[in-house]
Structure 1
């Protein structure tokens, strides 16, 4: 059961060739970017894209740290990065988890958390981004990665916002929805991802983007995370027609992000 659950939670080989066929920024007409390989403390090598927004623009000192869902690779999310940059002018740092795309290793909860920390530390250590405001953005599984990272690092002061899209309360609470026969075995799942226990401790502004037609993560998960949040600014953005993977194309999705970025990077936070 454990291996079956792990394959369900981290289907890094879906779609076919996802480990080898990684679209590159040049294929989406990006001109100002870097393709990076970043080492982790436990010996893995992580692929990443750092894509710059307009140099000298109002948000040229803001970087969105982007964590994707549990299938595919960072290349598949390049259209999202393009929209983020077009609407906000921010830079975008796209991290590839271990065991995904061309990153080495195999995925599990502790490893992905280390990967996320590696990415944040890289941005903090890199001269170009050292003084940047960081907005952490996670979709689905990436939302759980984002919650854990922000809960651990919010005292540093450079994280100015958290954006969550279609993520779940915890993996154990999600299993009955995605794998009903396993509902009585959910307690055996060692991939916990307990965002519901971490979100009340997060004190940075948070945007909740919820596709109300989500067929993978029941939308009540997002609503409960919103209700549990004690963030000084928390914004609920329902997307009435959005399912688990199509919410990004719903009207208002990127407008909500642009408004959130504007609010969290220009207003003085208490």
Structure 2
């Protein structure tokens, strides 16, 4: 049953970056090796990005090269176990181990303070993002913020509007978001054909009132075209930049160390 559900939830694409030398390797607590890339803009804020389903690093690198320049942030993105060139079998638990390894790389190897890190999850990536944000909040660790784009309440709820989280459901974001203790910015297309718009709405209302940032509901956008619809006039980059300006410390203090320790 679990394997059948996993095969529906996770859909790794064919590898797109076999000869791409821009990535490096991270070791996870579940004994897997995953690739990641880090774009250093010497910014005071680093975005830790968790990508969507049917994506890998090769498909998102160019976008985040532009994103990091226009939004003026550093970016670390990683592939999930079983995606891209990563070893192992994809699973919910491995996704959590993957983002743990990416966060540890930033805080230990790059010595970036947690309050200078913004977790950003798109679609499936909202799962590991909410997991880590809740985990850090429960431990009293302050984050810079959380961005959720086209997020899901939980895996089962993508197909069924269950009132409660059922046993075996994956990525129960709607249960976790109320425990997140930092600004939460939700972006969702009103005509999302994969993760219905009401998921974004439900997650917004499930968050603590004091941490809700006015959401960005993109009128007429689907699941995979938000960036494309808003790229020409720069509205997407402007919205992210405004969130970072208003809710993080990126305009205050010195830039964190960005070179890994020897």
Q: Tell me the TM-score normalised to structure 1 length.
A: 0.82
2:154 and 2:173 in contact (8 A); partners too: yes
**Among candidates 145, 151, 162, match of residue 128 of structure 2:** 145
Task: For residues 4-46 of structure 1, give each alpha carbon's deviation from its aligned partner in whole angstroms, at most 9, with x where no partner exists.
Answer: 331121111x3xx33xx227778xxxxxxx5210111221101
* Aligned mates of 2:133, 2:166 — CA distance in 1: 26
* Aligned mates of 1:267, 1:229 — CA distance in 2: 23
Q: Which has the higher contact order (CA 8 A, sep 6+)?
A: 2
**Among candidates 213, 224, 228, match of residue 245 of structure 1:** 224
Aligned to 2:80: 97
Does residue 222 of the first structure (1) align with residue 217 of the second (2)?
no
* Aligned mates of 1:24, 1:130 — CA distance in 2: 33
Q: 1:201-212, aligned counterparts within 5 Å?
A: 201-212=179-190
1:24 and 1:75 in contact (8 A); partners too: no
Aligned to 1:11: 11
Shift of 1:131: 7.2
Shift of 1:233: 4.3
Q: Tell me the TM-score normalised to structure 2 length.
A: 0.84
Aligned CA distance change for structure 1 residues 38 and 267 (closer, same or farther; 3 Å): closer
Shift of 1:109: 0.8
Aligned CA distance change for structure 1 residues 49 and 3 (closer, same or farther; 3 Å): same
Shift of 1:144: 1.5
Shift of 1:174: 1.5
* Aligned mates of 1:121, 1:235 — CA distance in 2: 30
Runs of 4+ in 1 over 3 A off after TM superposition: 1-4, 23-26, 127-132
* Aligned mates of 2:129, 2:100 — CA distance in 1: 10
**Among candidates 131, 141, 165, match of residue 156 of structure 1:** 141
SS at match of 2:199: helix
Aligned to 1:114: 97
Aligned length: 243
SS at match of 2:248: helix
Cα root mean square deviation, aligned: 2.5
* Aligned mates of 1:128, 1:114 — CA distance in 2: 20
* Aligned mates of 1:5, 1:68 — CA distance in 2: 20
Q: 1:1-270, aligned counterparts within 5 Å?
A: 2-12=2-12, 14=13, 17-18=14-15, 21-22=16-17, 35-53=23-41, 55=42, 60-127=43-110, 129-130=112-113, 133-154=116-137, 155-157=140-142, 159-176=143-160, 187=166, 190-230=168-208, 231-251=210-230, 252-266=235-249
Structure 1: where are the runs of 5+ without partners? Answer: 27-33, 178-182
* Aligned mates of 2:78, 2:4 — CA distance in 1: 25
Structure 2: where are the runs of 5+ without partners? Answer: 252-262
SS at match of 1:64: strand
1:160 and 1:265 in contact (8 A); partners too: yes
Shift of 1:79: 3.3
1:66 and 1:93 in contact (8 A); partners too: yes
* Aligned mates of 2:250, 2:92 — CA distance in 1: 34
